[in-house]
Structure 1
Amino acid sequence: MTSPPTIYDVATEAGVSISTVSRALNSPARVGEQTRRRVLAAVDALGFTPKPDAVAKARRGVGRIGVIAPHTSYPSVARRLNGILHAIGSRPLEVVLFDQESAAESSSPLLASLPVTGRLDGLIVISLPLDDTVAERLTGLGLPTVLLDVRHALFDSIHTDDIAGGRLAAEYLLTRGHHRFSFLGEAQRSNRYLSPSQRRLAGYRTALAEAGYGLGDHNVRLVRHRARHALTAARELLSQKDRPTAVFAADDTLAAGILRAARDLDLTVPGDLSVVGFDDGELAEVMDLTTIRQPLEESGHAAMERLIQQLDQPTTPRDVALGLQLIVRGTT
């Protein structure tokens, strides 16, 4: 009785390695089209029967890209995802989304439960710092990975300079003649990494100090990333005896809370108070908010393009910094 064909027989028939056969069936995006066709021809000729979903996937030539991010925590993530999808275009790639708790609100090891399996051909990680354990896991799997809005020496990274963004906000408010400053940012439960909010505060504080203005702790508030928490904290800030005349918010959602608090306290904007946010999405346009624009869609597009390059031909990691822009509107 003849034994059923094995993956070794397919490799011999196609003139490729066993690992190439495995990639062609399970990660077709990582194999050239001619090689994939040769493997499929060998599968058909020998009557080899891999898992049904694997051969169907191989015949379509479709690869699967995982995108893991705090999708439900920040509006900015959705805009980055739009950029990713636009970069894919008509390429034969499926996108699988994994929602992870915001790093700022998590006290557990970051990405400890990263759902990586052999069914992914590549991975994009958005706004979630990698600890060394997870980084070693990804490199051990040989899974092409690009980081977006975070950095690690072992992986490609697309990011903006949050410290520079904080400086940009401070320098602009100084040119408007302000002397009393405040900051409203996002609190975090773990100190194992520096969050974007912390970096923006650092740049803001440094630029103010260089100009001769201090930013005491009584003029800094860190809250959960919710507009209602921002509202409560902003009311406290703006009710002080020597209240600030300028507030920089770590993002536009928090800035919305400041504007509502100013209205509740009968403060005019920008007459009594100037407000600067960060991100520049639809919310900023509706609120007529002066803000620091970061290229959200563009960063997603760049991350996907880089991952596609890594799928085609792996190279050493690259670190790409995208520029920021001050958008002046009615709140200053």
Structure 2
Amino acid sequence: MARQAGVSTATVSRALRGLPNVREGTRERVRAAAAALGYVASPSAASLASGRTRAIGLISPVVSRWFFANVIEGAERTLRAQGFDLLLYTFEVTRGSGRTARVDPDVLRRRVDGVLVVGLPLEAEEVESLLTLGAPLVCVGWGGSGQATIRLDDRATGRAATEHLLGLGHRVVGHITGAPDDVSAWSPPVEREEGWREALAAAGLRAVESLRVHGGFDVAGGRASMHRLLVQHPEVTAVFAASDEMAMGAVLALRDRGLRVPQDVSVIGVDGHDLGELVGLTTMAQPVAEQGGLAARMVLEMIAGATVDPEVVVPTRLVVRTSTGPPPVFS
């Protein structure tokens, strides 16, 4: 087959396995030669010969949340196109009380060629334990310090969201962040909160601690935290929530209290959730599925021995809808 395609046997192997660093024209010649010879690859034989499983492990705290589901779908679609399977391992996190257990790499040992970690803050010992698998590791969002990571510029995102509200004339801007134990200096909720603080400071305003409440990154948490915020600060005219789901919960809480959005209180989130347009939510949108696909391509490149960027920062963009507007005018 290699002779017929005019390439080396190594190139034939890489082309048929869908690995990167093979020109598309070369890949097509190899496929044509394989078809002419009636060659059908045996996955089990290939795995035995190469020591590869052609599977990528993906560790995520949840599957049902919008962000995680879309990242997983993007990764799975990309891996499937390259002939790889995705092995999903969900890792339970109890909101507000931290982990129920540490990540256990043994569930993936000898079963995967690479590992993706989605939205899970890893402690140093956990990163080290995953590295004992001898497989490339790529993190999306939260992850392990020093490992290949795909993330947002969360601080700039929080700053831009808050600046949008300030630009409309708001001067009492609350913030709904994650859980109380989200304290890692490089984590998305901490960085988005810092962006909120920086924007307020630049406008000559103080980020009063009681203006920040914890919403746990879901609708129910956002709703409850918005109620708490209004009890403490009924003068709030705008809220920046660190996720769209918490922002949607905040909108529900405002409706519970007979307040109008945005006439009484403006709300902005982060994500670009599919339901955001339905509820008119202003948001800092991020390319979520694309991050999953990019992470999958990175881990495949690392498996092939390529060097990848240690950190890829993806952009967010302001999408203005009807949930934000000027503050109310009091006579």
Deviation at 1:214, TM superposition (A): 1.2
Q: Against the structure 1 CA distance between its residues 153 and 252, is the aligned structure 2 distance closer, same or farther, given a 3 Å change threshold?
A: closer
Deviation at 1:154, TM superposition (A): 3.8
Pick which of 102-111 and 198-207 moved more.
102-111
How many residues of Structure 1 are paired with residues of Structure 2 in the alignment? 289
Q: Against the structure 1 CA distance between its residues 241 and 127, is the aligned structure 2 distance closer, same or farther, given a 3 Å change threshold?
A: closer
**Equivalent residue letter for 1:70:** P
Q: Percent identity, aligned pairs only?
A: 30
CA distance in 1, matches of 2:58, 2:316: 24
1:91 corresponds, among 82, 86, 90, to 82
Structure 2 SS opposite 1:282: coil
Q: Which residue of structure 2 aligns with residue 136 of structure 1?
A: 128
Whose radius of gyration is greater, 1 or 2? 1
- The answer to whether 1:217 aligns with 2:182 is no
CA distance in 2, matches of 1:300, 1:325: 18
Q: Is the 8 A contact 1:292 1:326 kept in 2?
A: yes
CA distance in 2, matches of 1:174, 1:299: 30
CA distance in 2, matches of 1:112, 1:260: 35
- The answer to whether 1:237 aligns with 2:229 is yes
Q: Against the structure 1 CA distance between its residues 106 and 112, is the aligned structure 2 distance closer, same or farther, given a 3 Å change threshold?
A: farther
- The answer to whether 1:72 aligns with 2:63 is yes
Deviation at 1:203, TM superposition (A): 0.7
Taking structure 2 as the reference length, the TM-score comes to: 0.77
Deviation at 1:158, TM superposition (A): 0.9
- The answer to whether 1:197 aligns with 2:189 is yes
Q: Is the 8 A contact 2:240 2:268 kept in 1?
A: yes
- The answer to whether 1:247 aligns with 2:243 is no
Q: Which residue of structure 2 aligns with residue 261 of structure 1?
A: 253
Note the residue ranges of structure 2 that are not aligned, 5 or more in a row: 1-12, 22-42, 325-331
**Equivalent residue letter for 2:292:** G
**Equivalent residue letter for 1:199:** E
Deviation at 1:238, TM superposition (A): 2.6
1:126 corresponds, among 103, 118, 138, to 118
Structure 2 SS opposite 1:125: strand
**Equivalent residue letter for 2:90:** D
Q: Is the 8 A contact 1:104 1:195 kept in 2?
A: no
CA distance in 1, matches of 2:102, 2:228: 35
1:274 corresponds, among 262, 266, 275, to 266
1:172 corresponds, among 164, 168, 173, to 164
Note the residue ranges of structure 1 that are not aligned, 5 or more in a row: 1-23, 33-52
CA distance in 1, matches of 2:279, 2:307: 44
Deviation at 1:78, TM superposition (A): 0.6
CA distance in 2, matches of 1:182, 1:156: 33
Within 5 Å, which residues of 2 pair with 1:5-16? Answer: none
Deviations 1:167-220 (A, max 9, x none): 011111111011111011221436456532221111111111111111212211
Pick which of 196-205 and 110-119 moved more.
110-119
Q: Against the structure 1 CA distance between its residues 104 and 161, is the aligned structure 2 distance closer, same or farther, given a 3 Å change threshold?
A: farther
**Equivalent residue letter for 2:196:** Y
Q: Is the 8 A contact 1:83 1:297 kept in 2?
A: yes
Q: Is the 8 A contact 2:142 2:187 kept in 1?
A: no
Q: Is the 8 A contact 2:118 2:143 kept in 1?
A: no
1:63 corresponds, among 39, 43, 54, to 54
- The answer to whether 1:155 aligns with 2:157 is no
1:324 corresponds, among 296, 304, 316, to 316
